[in-house]
Structures are given as structure tokens and as C-alpha cells.
């Protein structure tokens, strides 16, 4: 008798996926390119929203499971021990499952756009979900939004790669995934669109808005239908804007800019410190997470994303933050409460940097909202205590979030509309615009690059707010070096030079020693009268006709710097050195040709 085929879920899923893939390829052949992009942005939006739902639900489940274990076993100081366990689990997963590496931060998205032609690794479609769920779900002081945007971007990028779309369409769908992720995470589609445009895309045309808007709306809709409302971050109680409070909002904007600068610089210092530690990954995790556990013990609201504590402040119940803490006996003292909230705000950056430096995975989006809400509360609460004014604490708590988000990520429009959307209206639009713009202006003055791309910008790897530099730095310098040169050795005559001239069409010749060190350059246009005279060829030494280069290109320099050297020297060709060794020449004309080709393929229409 023939054996019955056993049912396999894996086989069934694979076959279903292949059928769906063939169906999409069929649609691609039937639809126009623009119609297929519209169809694709819906699929990317749905995929990104499902990833958000899985991530948020899984992180919520990990958090609830950890709390249930605490209720059953009564673990001592559970809020301090759970983050340590979560970070250790994360680093083990990274080492054993993800080949020992995982890319963190939304800067990876900008790097993919600027340097990798919009290509993101396939593992980013699931790696962020798994690792950040354990880190944040078990109390790591970071946010889920950065993993969400990376996951959405990875879905859009890999979808475009799978269906063989062009670079500009791949970048567009990558941005669609980011917009859908933010839209689904906060039920804020407008903020999702603006985040994708302000942070991810350096250049965009009006027609690209439509796919991004479709993806963001799709993501928000799917999230609203399927995600438990308790998991979403939203507010319903907001007072109206009183123009008499305008000076205090301006002050909040100034403080937001200064706090943003402090946050960015402190985070980078701690990040640099952890990168230099010689510990193995487990010891590093124990070291960083151990300090984090102490901070959470003293300031419990540092546990996890911290959205619950933001809602407590917005409802003007700060005394709840000190309950079950070592400061509980001071809950009736307004000044102690103010100092406690202010200290928590300033310490948040240390908690987040310890979480990520120790090996956890998460982002700074949620921490920026946390710090902003605490700052806004402190400003309003302070003036209310001294009796100088009667400010609406809830409004300042919410507007403060926009101030830090704008100052830290240099994304004022995203900040304005995100807070407007999660509060369910636009009553705070005027103070949101004031605080966000003032914070952005101050932060931009002292920190030219946003928090997330500062390290990449310092390396010359990405400039999202400068299209020309962005395109130049996406071109591989190594591929521009022309190595078919004819070297000349130093000698007492030019006979070797004449021989090389006869063998090639080159108009410039490098003079090298035995170690390939560049001694000088000989320009054919300047020595023509000499090479046509046999007497001068025989009795003219090389060093008499060679000249030092006006500029030298070093192998590790960016193309933006290289173009500046071409402009200042007025040369059409410059020599390239690496560790003192001559490698070849780079021609300005070749760079311009590559630039034009790349520009044509990069413009998103």
C-alpha cells in the first residue's frame, strides 16, 4: 500500500508562500510599474504592521510573563534582576543565532540608503523582533521603535530585491516600510510619513508621497484593528492652548534643545566607553546590566520603555512614581517629587546607554519621549510650586516629548504631528510648533548632525541632509583609481620617459622609487619641447622636469573631500597614496560621470 503523506506545517507554509510569490510576479507582468508600486506599498505596509504587532505583543507577553513569575516565586528585587536576565538572553541569541552581530539604530537605514543602494540584510526582518523583545520586554531601558523601523525597512528592501525592482523603487519601498512601522506603532500615519521623509530620504519628489502615505495608512489601520489598545501609546485628556503660557513654552523649547545636546553627547561617551572594554560579551552584559539594575532599583520608572510613567505624569499624579521606592516617605513633599522626577530625567540617558552598551537591543526613540515628558512636567510643576503661574501640567508633559524628539533626531515635523496624533487632536499645535522649532534650532546650532547619524557622519559615510554629499559618498573610491599608469624611475636622462610615451596614450607619468614612493609627476604637455630634442632627452635629468603634485588623495578619504581637493587645486587628475605607497590616479571627469549616473538612478520619482 502507498504511504500517506504526512501533513507538514513547514511544507504547507513554504508552498503557500511560493504560490503568493508567483501571483505577485504575475501581477507585476500585468500592471504598469506605477500600479505595481502602489500594490507593493500596501503589501509592505501590511507586513510592517504585522511585524509591529508581533514585536509589541511579544514584548508585552515577555513583560507580563516576567511579572507573573515574580508573583509566583516572589523574586527579590525583580525589577532590577529581570533586565539583567533579558540582556544576557539577548547577547546569547545574537551570538548563537545571529552569527555574533546585529545592527542597531535607525542609522543603519540611512547607511543602507547612502552606501548600500537600499539593500538591507534579510535577517533584519526577524532579528530585531526577537532581540528587542527580550531586552525591552524584561525591563531594558530602551525603546522598540528603532527595531520597528529597521524591521519595516528590511521588509521593504527585501521585497524590492525579491521582485527585482530598481534602486529608486527599492529605496522608496524601504521608506514605505519605515513609515508603516511608525504609523502602526503609534497609530500615527502622518508622523510615519514625515519620519520617513525627514530622517530616511535625502531627496524626494511629490509623486513619492503617495506610496509612502498608502503604506503608513495601511500600517496604522492594521495595527488599530489587530493590536490591543492597552499596548498602544495614546492620550485622550488634553487641555486647550492658552496664549498667556507662550513664554513658558519658549523656555521649554530652549531647555529641550539643551537637554537634547546633553543626551546625545552623554550617550556617545558611554557608547564609546563600552566599545573599548576588553570583557567578553557575557561579562560586559553583566557589568552594564548590573549598573542598570541599581539605577532601576533607585528609579523604578526607568524599567522598560517607560510609557506608563509618562501617562502618570500627564495625569498629574507624580506621587505614584515614588511609591514602593526608597523615596516613598517623601511623596507628600512637592520639592522632593520635583527633584526625583528631574533626576530620573537626567539619568535616563545613562540607563539607555547601559542597556545598549551591555549588549541589549533597542532604540532611543522611546527614551527621547520619556525625557521630554519628564522635562515638560518639571517646567510646569516648578512654576506651579512657586506660585508664579498655573500651568497645565498635562499639556507641558506632552509638548516636552516633541521638544526632545525634535532636538535629538532633528525631525521637528515628525515630533509635531506624532504628539498631535497620539493626543487625538490638534489643540496643542501652536505650542508643539514653538517648542519643536526652538529645540531643533538650538540643537542644530551645536550638533550639526542628528543623534542617530553623528557617528556615520564623522566617518564620512552618510549625510542624509545633503544630497550631493550623499551621492558622492555612495560611490566606491577604490573603483575609481586608475592603475594602468606607466611609472618612471629617477634617472639622469629622459630616455625611459620617451620610451613610455611611445608605449601609451597617457599624458601624466608618476616618478617612483624602488619602494613605489611617489617622488613627483611629469606632465607631458609641459615637456613636449624637451622630448622632441634628442640632445635634451639625453642630458636632462628626471628631477629637472618632474614637479610635486598640487594635491594628494589619500586612500581612506571621502569623495566629498576629494572633490574639494580637485576644486582647490584646479587639477583634472590627482595621485592616490595609501600608507605612503602610490596606487594610481583619480580623474575628476570619471567622478562626475559616476555622479551623473548615480544621480539618475537615485532620484525617487
Give the strands of the sheet with 553-554, arranged side by side: 553-554, 573-578, 581-587
pLDDT in tens, 565-595: 888 888 888 999 988 889 889 988 888 888 7
Point out the domain boundary residue: 439, 465, 491: 465
**What is d(CA 16, CA 468) in angstroms, rounded to the nearest whole number?**
44
Element (H, E) at 511: strand 508-512
Do residues 48 and 137 make contact, with C-beta atoms less than 8 angstroms apart?
no
The CATH number for 522's domain is 3.10.580.10
Domain boundary among 171, 193, 226: 226
pLDDT of 535 > 60? The answer is: yes
Of residues 484 and 229, more confidently modeled: 484
Does the structure show a pLDDT above 70 at 549? yes
pTM of the model: 0.79
Distance between the two ends of the chain, CA-based, in angstroms?
Answer: 61
Specify the pLDDT at position 305.
85
Residue 348 CA to residue 408 CA, distance in Å, equals 14
Instruction: Note whether 110 and 452 are within 8 A (CB).
Output: yes
Within a 13 Å sphere around the CA of 477, how many CA atoms are in the beta-carbon half?
21
Q: Provide the 3-class DSSP secondary structure of residue 583.
A: strand
Query: 238 in a domain, yes or no?
Result: no
- Give the SS3 label for residue 34: helix
* Residue written as grid cell 526625583: 340
Q: Is residue 4 part of a domain?
A: no
* Beta bridge mates, 581: 578
Number of domains in the chain: 3
- The enclosing domain of 32 has a CATH number of 1.10.3080.10
| Residue of 117 and 280 predicted with greater confidence | 280
pLDDT given at position 457? 66
Strands (E), 273-432: none
Asked if residue 344 lies in contact with residue 284, where contact means CB atoms within 8 angstroms, the answer is no
pLDDT of residue 72: 58
| Number of Cβ atoms within 10 Å of the Cβ of 502 | 8
The residue with cell 594628494 is: 552
Q: Which of 58, 527, 135, 540 is nearest to 363 (CA)?
A: 135
| 333/215 same-domain check | no
Considering the domain boundaries, does residue 287 fall inside one? Answer: yes
Q: What is the pLDDT of residues 361-386, one digit of tens each?
A: 988 888 999 999 999 999 999 999 99
Q: Which helix (H) or strand (E) holds 591?
A: helix 588-602
Q: Is residue 1, in this structure, part of any structural domain at all?
A: no
The answer on 538 and 461 residing in a single domain is no
DSSP classification of residue 106: T
Q: Are residues 289 and 201 in the same domain?
A: no
> In the beta sheet, which residues pair with residue 574?
586
Rounded average pLDDT over 464-493:
75
What does the DSSP 8-state code read for residue 102? -
CA 365 – CA 379 distance, rounded (Å)? 22
Q: What is the mean pLDDT of the chain?
A: 83
User: Of the candidates 226, 251, 281, which is a domain's last residue?
Assistant: 226
Reading the block at residue 216, the C-alpha cell is 503608513
What's the burial of 468, exposed, middle or buried (CB within 10 Å: 0-12/13-18/19+)? middle
Is the pLDDT reported for residue 76 higher than 60? no
Residues 129 and 93 in one domain: yes
Q: What is the pLDDT of residue 604?
A: 47
Domain span including residue 305:
243-465
Amino acid at each position: 500500500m502507498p504511504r500517506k503523506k504526512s501533513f507538514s506545517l513547514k511544507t504547507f507554509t513554504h508552498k503557500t508562500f511560493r504560490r503568493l510569490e508567483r501571483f505577485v510576479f504575475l501581477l507585476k507582468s500585468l500592471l504598469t510599474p506605477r500600479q505595481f508600486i502602489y500594490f507593493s506599498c500596501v503589501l509592505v505596509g501590511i507586513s510592517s504592521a504585522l511585524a509591529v504587532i508581533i514585536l509589541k505583543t511579544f514584548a508585552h507577553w515577555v513583560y507580563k510573563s516576567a511579572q507573573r513569575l515574580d508573583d509566583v516565586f516572589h523574586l527579590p528585587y525583580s525589577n532590577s534582576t529581570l533586565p539583567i536576565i533579558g540582556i544576557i538572553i539577548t547577547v546569547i541569541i545574537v551570538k548563537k543565532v545571529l552569527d555574533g552581530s546585529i545592527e542597531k539604530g535607525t542609522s543603519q537605514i540611512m547607511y543602507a540608503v547612502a552606501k548600500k543602494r537600499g539593500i538591507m540584510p534579510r535577517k533584519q526582518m526577524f532579528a530585531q523582533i526577537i532581540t528587542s523583545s527580550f531586552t525591552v520586554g524584561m525591563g531594558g531601558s530602551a525603546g522598540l521603535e528603532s527595531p520597528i523601523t529597521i524591521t519595516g525597512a528590511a521588509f521593504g528592501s527585501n521585497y524590492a530585491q525579491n521582485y527585482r525592482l530598481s534602486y529608486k523603487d527599492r529605496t522608496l519601498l524601504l521608506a514605505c516600510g519605515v513609515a508603516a512601522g511608525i504609523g502602526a506603532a503609534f497609530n500615527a500615519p502622518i508622523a510615519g510619513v514625515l519620519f520617513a521623509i525627514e530622517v530616511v530620504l535625502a531627496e524626494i519628489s511629490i509623486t513619492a508621497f503617495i506610496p509612502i502615505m498608502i503604506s503608513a495608512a495601511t500600517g496604522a489601520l492594521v495595527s488599530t484593528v489587530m493590536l490591543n489598545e492597552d499596548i498602544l501609546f495614546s492620550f485622550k485628556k488634553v487641555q486647550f492652548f492658552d496664549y498667556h503660557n507662550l513664554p513658558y513654552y519658549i523656555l521649554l523649547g530652549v531647555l529641550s534643545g539643551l537637554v537634547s545636546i546633553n543626551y546625545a553627547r552623554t550617550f556617545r561617551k558611554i557608547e564609546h566607553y563600552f566599545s573599548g572594554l576588553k570583557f567578553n560579551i557575557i561579562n560586559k552584559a553583566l557589568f552594564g546590566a548590573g549598573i542598570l539594575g541599581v539605577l532601576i532599583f533607585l528609579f523604578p520608572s526607568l524599567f522598560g520603555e517607560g510609557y506608563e510613567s509618562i501617562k502618570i505624569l500627564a495625569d498629574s499624579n507624580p506621587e505614584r512614581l515614588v511609591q514602593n521606592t526608597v523615596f516613598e516617605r517623601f511623596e507628600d513633599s512637592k520639592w522632593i517629587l520635583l527633584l526625583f522626577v528631574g533626576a530620573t530625567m537626567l539619568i535616563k540617558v545613562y540607563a539607555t546607554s547601559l542597556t545598549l552598551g551591555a549588549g541589549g537591543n533597542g532604540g532611543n526613540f522611546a527614551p527621547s519621549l520619556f525625557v521630554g515628558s519628564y522635562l515638560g512636567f518639571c517646567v510646569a510643576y516648578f512654576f506651579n510650586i512657586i506660585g508664579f503661574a498655573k500651568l497645565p501640567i498635562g499639556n507641558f508633559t506632552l509638548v516636552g516629548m516633541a521638544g526632545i524628539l525634535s532636538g535629538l533626531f532633528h525631525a521637528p515635523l515628525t515630533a509635531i504631528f506624532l504628539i498631535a496624533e497620539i493626543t487625538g487632536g490638534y489643540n496643542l499645535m501652536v505650542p508643539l510648533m514653538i517648542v519643536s522649532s526652538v529645540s531643533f534650532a538650538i540643537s542644530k546650532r551645536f550638533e550639526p548632525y542628528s543623534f542617530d547619524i553623528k557617528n556615520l557622519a564623522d566617518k564620512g559615510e552618510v549625510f542624509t541632509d545633503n544630497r550631493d554629499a550623499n551621492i558622492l559618498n555612495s560611490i566606491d573610491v577604490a573603483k575609481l583609481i586608475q592603475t594602468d599608469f606607466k611609472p618612471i624611475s629617477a634617472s639622469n636622462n629622459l630616455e625611459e620617459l620617451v620610451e613610455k610615451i611611445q608605449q601609451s596614450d597617457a599624458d601624466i607619468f608618476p616618478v617612483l622609487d624602488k619602494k613605489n614612493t611617489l617622488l613627483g609627476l611629469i606632465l607631458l604637455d609641459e615637456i613636449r619641447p624637451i622630448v622632441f630634442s634628442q640632445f635634451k632627452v639625453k642630458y636632462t635629468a628626471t628631477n629637472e622636469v618632474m614637479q610635486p603634485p598640487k594635491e594628494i588623495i589619500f586612500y581612506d578619504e571621502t569623495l566629498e573631500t576629494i572633490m574639494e581637493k580637485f576644486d582647490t587645486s584646479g587639477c583634472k587628475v590627482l595621485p592616490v597614496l595609501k600608507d605612503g605607497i602610490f596606487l594610481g590616479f583619480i580623474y575628476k571627469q570619471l567622478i562626475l560621470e559616476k555622479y551623473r549616473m548615480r544621480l539618475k538612478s537615485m532620484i525617487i520619482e
